[in-house]
Amino acid sequence: MDLDQIVRAVRGARRITVLTGAGVSAASGIPTFRGPDGLWKQFRAEQLATPEAFERDPRLVWEWYDWRRQKVAACQPNAAHRVLAAWSQRWPTCHIITQNVDDLHLRVGTRDLVRLHGSIWDVSCWNGCAAAPSRWRDERVPLDEVPPRCPHCGGLVRPAVVWFGESLDPADVEAAHAATASCDLFISAGTSAIVYPAAAFLHDAKRRGATTAEINLETTPASEIVDIAVQGKVEEVLEQVEAALGA
Ligand code: OAD
């Protein structure tokens, strides 16, 4: 594998941006979406992760999220999260953009984190009632009522994650664009690189002249366009990179 190349690239970079996906949390025991045991093999996204699904059956949607929240609560961050957190602390110009909603990057103190798809611990009032903040944190595990109710209007509460068919938070998109535009090394780690707009950031970075790299167990659409493709477990590869850097 191109480990030496990625070590050289990290060593020589002034501004690193890393896009992470479900593969980064796989070693923590959180299922990915599209692998053989992926969530989208067992469940249909359109029945669980769309506004229409919630409108149709909020209890079903919340049962699924409550189950996932319990799973996430029982998991610990792994070496991939720890190395990326260390980079973000060591190099103020290092930015991490994640598609993961599990907040494991946050639990190890990652700085400058953009959570493109939100957090599984955030909720918002489904009716958007005026008394409620736009979102708030609810860390009850398991929830004591499903579906949970808005403490302000008594209506339904929804998971404040980005569902299929919904727009990303413009502030997050802007922050991710800024991180992409300013980097000289862009690493796509543990993501199938097919969900947009996240997948577009790699292309943007390449167009702007950044060195691009991928770390993934398998080949993805990104593998063909990156300068450095490292096939392997991201938690092992990042640990090896960190060791080679002498950190
Ligand atoms: P996917 O499940 O699509 O892809 C996970 C990727 O991680 C795959 O390419 C695997 O080969 C790779 N992988 C698995 N374990 C790994 C490991 N230990 N080391 C390295 N690579 C590993 O997950 P995402 O790309 O994150 O969106 O999916 C993107 C979005 O699609 C998610 O945020 C979610 C989903 O539908 C929404 O829910 C809006």
CB 116 within 8 A of CB 102: no
Q: What pLDDT sits at residue 1?
A: 56
Indicate the average pLDDT of the chain: 96
Which residue is catalytic, options 117, 152, 177, 203? 117
- In three-state form (DSSP H/G/I as H, E/B as E, the rest C), the secondary structure along 194-246 is CCCCCCHHHHHHHHCCCEEEEEECCCCCCCCCCCEEEECCHHHHHHHHHHHCC
Predicted local distance difference test score (pLDDT) of residue 129: 97
Q: Is 65 in the pocket of ligand 1 (CB under 6 A)?
A: no
Q: Which atom of ligand 1 is nearest to the CA of 27?
A: 18
DSSP 83: H
How far is Cα 189 from Cα 170, in angstroms, rounded to an integer? 23
Q: Taking the CA of residue 19 as centre, how many other CA atoms within 13 Å lie in the half-sphere pointing to its CB? A: 34
Phi, psi (degrees; rounded to nearest 5) at 225 = -100, -15
**CA angle, 59 as apex, 101 and 118 as ends, to 5°?**
15
**137 token code pair:** 């944190």
Q: Is 31 in the pocket of ligand 1 (CB under 6 A)?
A: no
Q: Among 186, 193, 187, 190, which Cα is nearest to 220's?
A: 193
Question: Across residues 90-97, what is the average pLDDT?
Answer: 97
User: Does CATH place domain 3-29+77-117+168-246 in 1.10.132.20?
Assistant: no
pLDDT of residue 36: 82
**Higher pLDDT, residue 37 or 131:** 131
Contact yes or no for 148/62 (Cβ under 8 A): yes
Distance of alpha carbon 159 from alpha carbon 71, whole angstroms: 16
Name the class of domain 36-74+122-161.
alpha beta
**The predicted structure's pLDDT at residue 42:** 85
Q: How far is the CA of 171 from the centre of ligand 1 (A)?
A: 23
Q: Is 195 in the pocket of ligand 1 (CB under 6 A)?
A: yes
Rounded Cα–Cα distance for residues 29 and 183 (Å): 31
Query: Which atom from ligand 1 is nearest to the alpha carbon of 40?
Result: 36
What per-residue confidence (pLDDT) applies to 204? Answer: 97
Q: Cβ(162) to ligand 1 under 6 A?
A: yes
| Annotation marks residue 105 as catalytic | no
Cα-to-centroid distance, 23 and ligand 1 (Å): 5
User: What is the pLDDT, as a whole number, of residue 49?
Assistant: 95
Summarised one tens digit per residue, pLDDT across range 201-233 is 999 999 999 999 999 999 999 999 999 999 999
End-to-end distance of the chain based on CA atoms, in angstroms? 21
> How is the chain split into domains, by residue range?
3-29+77-117+168-246, 36-74+122-161
- pLDDT of 214 reads 98
Quote the pTM value.
0.96
Residue with CA nearest ligand 1 atom 8: 192
What percentage of the chain reaches a pLDDT higher than 90?
A: 92
22 C-alpha to ligand 1 centroid (Å): 4
Which tokens belong to 230?
């490292």
Residues 123-179 have pLDDT tens digits of: 999 999 999 999 999 999 999 999 999 999 999 999 999 999 999 999 999 999 999
